Amino acid sequence: MKNLVEFAIPDDKIICDLYMDQVGLSAVAVADEFDLFRIIGSEPQDAATLAAKINSDKRAVEVLLNALVTQGGLANDDGKYSLTTVGDAFFKRGSPLCRIFQLYSNKESWAYKRISNMMKNGPDPVAFGKGSYTSMWETGTLTQEAADRFTAMMNTNIGAVAIAVAKSGIFADFTSVVDVGGASGIFLAAMRQLHPEMKLTLFELPQVCESAKGILKHYVDPTSIEYFPASFFEQQWPANGQAYFLSNVLHDWPRAKGVEILKNIRQALPSNGAVFINEALLNEDRMSPKYTVLFDLMMHLNHASQQYTEVELFEILHEAGFKNPRRVFEFGYYSTIRADV
C-alpha cells in the first residue's frame, strides 16, 4: 500500500493556477462576445447596470467581471468597474493594439461555451446523461457510473490539500472524525495511516461510498473505515463523531443550504465537539486571489453557488450555532477553519 503521510507535498498553487488558466482566458473571450470592454470603456459602471445593458443576470455578470479584474483587464473601485490601461489597449476592440483575436481558439473550449451559456441562460450545471451532478447530489440519485467518475476526479483535485490537513495535527485531540462529503476518502486514508486507533467515518452517498472503497484499498484496508451511506438532505447524520470535516462542500451549495448542513452537524456533535471547514477563501474584496475568484465563477456556473470570504464563513457558522470560529491551518490556496459547539 502507498504511504501518504511520508510523501513530501509541495505547494500546489502552480497546479491550481494552471487548471484555472482556461477559465480566465475564456472569461476574457466571453466578455468580448458581450461587448463588455466597449460598454465599460465609456464610463465606470456597477454589475447591476452592466447586467441590464446586456440582458444578463447580475450575479453571472459579477463573477465574470471579477474574473476580468484578476486577468488585469478591469479595475474595481467601490463596486464600479472600469477598464485598466491593459484592458483599454489590448482587450477593447478598435484599439490599434487589440489582441482579443488571440483568444478566438478558446471559443471551442468547454469553459468558453459554458460561461457564455451562463451569461445567456444562468448557471450551467455539469451534465451527466440526462441529468446534472448538482441535481443528483441533492436528490441522492447519483448513478454508479457518475459516482465513479466524480470520486476519481475529486481524489485528484483535493488529494494534496486533504493529506496536508491530515498531517497538520489539528485533529490530534479527537478520538473520532466524520468526513462529510469526503468523496474518495483520501483524507481518511491519511488519517488512518497517522492514527491507527481513531474512529473514522466517511459520510457520502451510497454510490460514492462504493467508489471510495476502490480507491482507499491502495492506501489502507477499506474495512478500517466506517461508512455512513446517506444524503446530507435526508436528515440522517452520524452521531458518533467528535469532529466533523467538510472539504470543498459548503461551496457546492447556496448559502441557505450551507447553513442547513451546518445546523445538522451542530445537532449531531457532542458538547466537546468541533467542525472543521476546508475551503479556498476569497479575500474580503472578493477580487483576489486569482485562483479563488475564478473558482467563484466556476461555482456559480456549476451549482449557482459560491466561494466564501473568511468573514462570510464565520457568519454562517455563528448562524448555525457554532462558537469561536478561527483559522487553524493553511495549505496552498486553502484554509481550514475550526468552530466549536
**Which set of grid coordinates corresponds to residue 276?**
472543521
**287-298 pLDDT, tens per residue?**
999 999 999 999
The topology (CATH level 3) of 131-340 is Rossmann fold (3.40.50)
| Predicted local confidence at residue 146, as pLDDT | 86
Separation between Cα atoms, residue 260 and residue 194, nearest integer Å: 32
**Which set of grid coordinates corresponds to residue 33?**
462576445
Confidence of residue 200 (pLDDT cuts 50, 70, 90): very high
Give the contacts of 174 (CB within 8 A, at least 6 positions apart). Answer: 198, 242, 243, 274
Give the contacts of 22 (CB within 8 A, at least 6 positions apart). Answer: 106, 109, 111
Determine the angle formed by the axes of helices 58-70 and 110-121, rounding to 10 degrees: 140
111, HSE (Cβ side, Cα atoms, 13 Å): 23
**Predicted confidence (pLDDT) at residue 105 exceeds the cutoff of 90:** no
- pTM for the structure as a whole: 0.94
- Pick from 46, 13, 68, 120: nearest CA to 297: 68
Class of 13-124 in CATH:
mainly alpha
Is the separation of the CB atoms in 39 and 50 below 8 Å?
yes
| Burial of residue 8 (number of CB atoms within 10 Å: 0-12, 13-18, 19+) | exposed
**Predicted confidence (pLDDT) at residue 139 exceeds the cutoff of 90:** no
In what helix (H) or strand (E) does residue 331 lie, and over which residues does it extend? strand 323-331
**pLDDT, greater one: 245 or 43:** 245
Enumerate the β-bridge partners of residue 200.
177
Classify residue 220 by its DSSP letter: S
The residue-averaged pLDDT of 208-219 equals: 95
| Predicted local confidence at residue 236, as pLDDT | 80
Q: Torsion-angle region of residue 319: left (phi > 0), alpha (psi -120 to 50) or beta?
A: alpha
Determine the angle formed by the axes of helices 144-167 and 186-194, rounding to 10 degrees: 40
Query: What is the DSSP track for 142-156?
Result: --HHHHHHHHHHHHH
3-state secondary structure at position 180: strand
Q: What are phi and psi of 30, to 5 degrees?
A: -70, -40
Q: Chain-centre distance of CA 249, in angstroms?
A: 7
Confidence of residue 232 (pLDDT cuts 50, 70, 90): confident
The residue-averaged pLDDT of 217-228 equals: 97
Separation between Cα atoms, residue 88 and residue 38, nearest integer Å: 9
3-state secondary structure at position 335: strand
Structural domain spans, the chain: 13-124, 131-340
Q: Chain-centre distance of CA 41, in angstroms?
A: 32
The residue-averaged pLDDT of 1-25 equals: 93
**30-51 pLDDT, tens per residue?**
999 999 999 999 889 999 999 9
Cell 485598466 belongs to residue: 84
